[in-house]
């Protein structure tokens, strides 16, 4: 019997959903750290944090009224110095992440992060004002893999990772793709491009080359595009970077021709409702949200948290929004999770295993494909 009790509070009167199980494809590891862990490592390492209690820290890090994407991205600087550059911290954050997701009722998660932003050696510039140390991006990936694998063993769910290139750091991207190759299917399943997409009109050559190499080597590809940026960023992600999934992608709606083309292609959109409100990506009125159009068109999309530490949320927050403001039914929640499973970057056999688990849990016919 597959367990997952997230829906207890969401569908109190619908007991058939109390064992609802889910998949999550778009969540940032460094945006999903327990505040207690930040405080612990801050204290242990003598690193100054904006507060020394959980509620005090959350007052600085998390928020509940829309900012801009750039203002949101600035939040990481409040706490990343406590974690980056520390082997125990990196491994523990990954381990705890799996536990957190298991408790939310997630059975499969793809978690993403930038190895460079957690390193303090062989990274230029060294992030977060750290002094040079001896933790390289390569070892960061190794430590995260260990944390995720320990978490899988202890919490009985599946966790894979996606390595992020950062828009403002094209010089890191060639190493990101090399790390994807080195750790391919040892937890790492894909490459991503994250950060501020309004930074430059065109995607930098460094990112393009990395994505070319990823495609050449059979590394799966997703790209943050059309979150706050125009449809042209999505177009570029698909045609130039050969993205197989789009992170967010809400602004595809501003280009009906592109939207139609991506619908026909069954492009997967990793949507994050609560995040899209707090980053100012979408109209704060959820009743006007692009997800409503995705649902009407039976588009291929999933529901995700993005950065639950900063948005003070769990997957439940996003599902509640979908239910309350977007009229989601049980059928649509099931469809969204099946979409997520089909769009996952797992090898075919593992993907089918997971799909079959979902079909069984949802009382649907097993996958014959």
Q: Supply the angle between the helices 173-182 and 137-155 in degrees, to the nearest 10.
A: 40
Question: Which residue from 118, 165, 191, 194 is in contact with ligand NOS, where contact means CB under 6 A?
Answer: 194
Q: Which residue's CB is nearer to ligand NOS, number 275 or number 367?
A: 275
Name the β-bridge partners of 191. 163, 221
195 binds ligand NOS (CB under 6 A): yes
Q: Which residue's CB is nearer to ligand NOS, number 116 or number 357?
A: 116
Within 10 angstroms of residue 311's Cβ, the number of other Cβ atoms is 24
| Piece of the chain touching ligand NOS by CB under 6 A; list 8-16, 23-31, 132-140, 289-297 | 23-31
313 binds ligand NOS (CB under 6 A): no
To the nearest whole angstrom, how small is the minimum distance from the Cβ of residue 248 to ligand NOS? 7
- Residue 227 annotated in active site: yes
Phi and psi, residue 86, nearest 5°:
-120, 120
- State how far the Cα of 223 lies from the Cα of 347, in Å rounded to an integer: 20
229 binds ligand NOS (CB under 6 A): no
Question: Which residue from 173, 279, 302, 305 is in contact with ligand NOS, where contact means CB under 6 A?
Answer: 279
31 binds ligand NOS (CB under 6 A): yes
Buried b (16+ CB within 10 A) or exposed e, 46-61: ebebebeeeeebbeeb
CB 164 within 8 A of CB 112: yes
163 binds ligand NOS (CB under 6 A): no
Closest CA to 239 of 272, 269, 265, 206: 265
To the nearest whole angstrom, how small is the minimum distance from the Cβ of residue 197 to ligand NOS? 7
Closest CA to 191 of 202, 207, 180: 180
Contacting residues for 44 by C-beta, under 8 A, at least 6 apart:
none
Question: Which residue from 17, 61, 117, 141 is in contact with ligand NOS, where contact means CB under 6 A?
Answer: 117
The owner of tokens 């997967």 is 268
Q: Which residue's CB is nearer to ligand NOS, number 57 or number 278?
A: 278
210 binds ligand NOS (CB under 6 A): no
76 binds ligand NOS (CB under 6 A): yes
To the nearest whole angstrom, how small is the minimum distance from the Cβ of residue 368 to ligand NOS? 37
Q: Supply the angle between the helices 205-216 and 173-182 in degrees, to the nearest 10.
A: 20
Burial of 341 (0-12, 13-18, 19+ CB in 10 A): buried
Q: Which residue's CB is nearer to ligand NOS, number 37 or number 275?
A: 275
Q: Which residue's CB is nearer to ligand NOS, number 7 or number 250?
A: 250
Q: Which residue's CB is nearer to ligand NOS, number 117 or number 148?
A: 117
164 binds ligand NOS (CB under 6 A): yes
30 binds ligand NOS (CB under 6 A): yes
Catalytic residue of the set 175, 227, 236, 270: 227
Token pair for 29: 């590891």
To the nearest whole angstrom, how small is the minimum distance from the Cβ of residue 192 to ligand NOS? 8
Task: Number of residues interacting with ligand NOS: please give it, by CB under 6 A.
Answer: 18
The owner of tokens 């309350």 is 324
137 binds ligand NOS (CB under 6 A): no
CB 24 within 8 A of CB 65: no
- DSSP-derived secondary structure letter, 184: B
Alpha helices in 156-204 (DSSP H): 173-182
Known catalytic residues are 227
| Chain residues that interact with ligand NOS, rule: CB under 6 A | 28, 30-31, 73, 76, 112-114, 117, 164, 194-195, 224, 227, 275, 279, 306-307
């Amino acid at each position: 019997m597959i367990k997952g009790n997230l829906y207890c509070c969401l569908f109190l009167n619908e007991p058939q959903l109390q064992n609802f199980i889910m998949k999550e494809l778009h969540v940032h590891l460094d945006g999903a750290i327990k505040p207690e862990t930040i405080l612990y490592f801050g204290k242990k390492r003598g690193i100054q944090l904006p507060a020394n209690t959980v509620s005090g820290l959350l007052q600085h890090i998390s928020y509940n009224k829309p900012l801009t994407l750039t203002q949101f991205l600035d939040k990481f600087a409040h706490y990343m110095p406590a974690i980056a550059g520390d082997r125990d911290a990196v491994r523990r954050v990954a381990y705890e992440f799996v536990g957190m997701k298991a408790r939310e009722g997630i059975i499969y998660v793809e978690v993403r992060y930038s190895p460079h932003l957690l390193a303090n050696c062989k990274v230029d510039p060294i992030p977060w004002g750290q002094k040079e140390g001896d933790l390289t991006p390569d070892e960061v990936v190794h430590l995260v893999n260990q944390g995720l694998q320990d978490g899988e063993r202890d919490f009985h769910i599946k966790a894979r990772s996606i390595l992020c290139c950062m828009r403002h750091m094209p010089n890191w991207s060639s190493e990101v793709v090399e790390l994807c190759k080195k750790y391919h299917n040892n937890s790492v399943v894909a490459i991503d491009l994250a950060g501020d997409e309004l930074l430059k009109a065109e995607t930098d050559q460094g990112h393009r080359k990395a994505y070319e190499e990823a495609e050449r080597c059979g590394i799966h590809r997703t790209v943050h595009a059309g979150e706050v940026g125009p449809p042209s960023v999505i177009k570029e992600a698909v045609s130039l970077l050969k993205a197989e999934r789009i992170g967010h992608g809400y602004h595809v709606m501003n280009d009906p021709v592109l939207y139609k083309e991506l619908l026909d292609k069954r492009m997967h959109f990793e949507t994050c409702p609560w995040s899209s409100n707090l980053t100012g990506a979408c109209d704060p009125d959820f009743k006007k949200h692009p997800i409503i159009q995705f649902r009407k068109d039976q588009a291929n999309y999933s529901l995700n948290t993005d950065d639950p530490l900063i948005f003070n949320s769990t997957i439940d927050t996003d599902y509640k929004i979908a239910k309350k403001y977007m009229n989601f039914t049980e059928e649509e929640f099931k469809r969204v999770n099946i979409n997520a499973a089909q769009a996952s970057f797992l090898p075919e056999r593992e993907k089918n295993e997971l799909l079959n688990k979902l079909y069984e849990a949802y009382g649907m016919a097993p996958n014959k494909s």
